[in-house]
Amino acid sequence: MVLESRLARALALFSLSALVAGVFVPSAKADVDDSPIKISVQKNLLIDGNGQPVRLVGVNKSGSEYMCVHDWNYFDGQANSATVAAMKSWKINVVRVPLNEDCWLGINGVSPKFSGRNYRSAINTWVSTLQSAGIYAILDLHVSAPGATKATYMEKMADADHSTDFWSSVAAYFKSNHGLIFDLFNEPNQINWSCWRDGCTTKEGWRTAGMQDMVTAIREEDATQPIMLEGIWQGTDLSQWFAYKPHDPLNQLIASNHNYSGMNFSNNLNAWNQKYAPIAAVVPLVTGELGQPDCSHGYIDKYMNWADENNVSYLAWTWNATSKSWPCSNHSLIADEMGTPSPYGIGFRDHLLTLPTKSNLTNKVVLASSLTTKQIHSVKVRSAKVENG
């Protein structure tokens, strides 16, 4: 998948007039009280507030990563209780909320109308709306930029200038909210594993922030939420994830991959068994973005069947209504704001509706404590009920 393609297309075709009537008004006061739902990591499982295993199946909602920086709005389309009701009708239990570094921090010339305190309040209101309906939220650093550059596109890696400050601020703001997961950086790309963990100087001359820097920034705020770490090459490569895994004193780390049809060597059953199943046997694995660009769903059907058999969570891209800026071929799951599925979305929705309300996950996974180092690399996975695509 071409880096920035989804964001660039949405921005290039976006129609401001379609949003004028639906400007989102944030709450005046941030509510950072304890959330009604909780999630944490235990070995290779995600655990809810009742101590029961939970698998996350849901969607991304794009817009909060780019609308604000152009002084358009907080969200692209609706983000309210009606949106959540439509999501619940699909049995969605998690939404990934992409964030903009400059908008959250209120820096680099972004209009105060849609940045700083106002942006933070809008995000908090959306998170609270989701959680009040029993839907978890994943906060994702999606768009960032070093120095005085305005964050209008997806960088190759987090920047040392602002990204640790971003996560310190997010962690402090949501410290008491335990129904959240922090996704440190969207689709690291064109870097090696050492840079991924420890930071490096790019060929353009700016310094990146490593995953360890950002994990440390969060924990120094006494925030205990689980933290998601995407692999390199746009989240498709997890080959050295364990070797370069940052230190987390709370052991609350989650591995994350992205999977679109056509992405680098990750579109068939053999690849999923070899690259991802051994990871899921040791730590929770969340496919933070899943999709296919042809307005169909055959590919994601196969992946979801495999993921269901291997205790892998997944979120489809994206809950944005079909329009010029979000055609079905650009991963629009819904035909309208009421949640009517697009031809692509109907496969995702129908699959979620077949899933049991509760899964006996403890009988379907290999607990990490029972694995030796040798077994981790040779763990046997169940055969998925899909054909090798």
Q: What is the mean pLDDT of residues 364-381?
A: 41
pLDDT at 382: 34
- Is residue 290 classed exposed, middle or buried when 0-12, 13-18 and 19+ CB atoms within 10 A define those classes? buried
Contact present, 116 and 106 (Cβ < 8 Å): yes
Lowest average pLDDT, out of 14-18, 44-48, 85-89, 236-240, goes to: 14-18
Whether the full predicted model's pTM is greater than 0.75, yes or no, is: yes
Whether residue 157 contacts residue 208, with contact meaning beta carbons closer than 8 Å, is answered with yes
CB 58 within 8 A of CB 307: no
**The pLDDT of residue 34:** 66
Asked if the model's pLDDT at residue 58 lies above 90, the reply is yes
Please check whether residue 140 is in contact with residue 225, taking contact to mean a CB–CB distance below 8 angstroms: no
Q: Quick check: helix, strand or coil at residue 227?
A: strand
Pairing type for strands 45-48 and 39-42 reads: antiparallel
The string of DSSP codes covering 19-66 is: TGGG-----SS---SPPSS-EEEETTEEEETTS-B---EEEE-TTTTT
Instruction: Report the 3 state secondary structure along 128-170.
Output: HHHHHCCCEEEEEEEECCCCCCCCCCCCCCCECCCHHHHHHHH
Residue pair 288/315 in contact (Cβ under 8 Å)? The answer is: yes
pLDDT tens digits, residue range 201-236? Answer: 999 999 999 999 999 999 999 999 999 999 999 999
List beta partners, residue 40: 47
| 267 band by pLDDT with thresholds 50, 70 and 90 | confident
Q: Which domains does the chain have, with CATH numbers?
A: 34-378 (3.20.20.80)
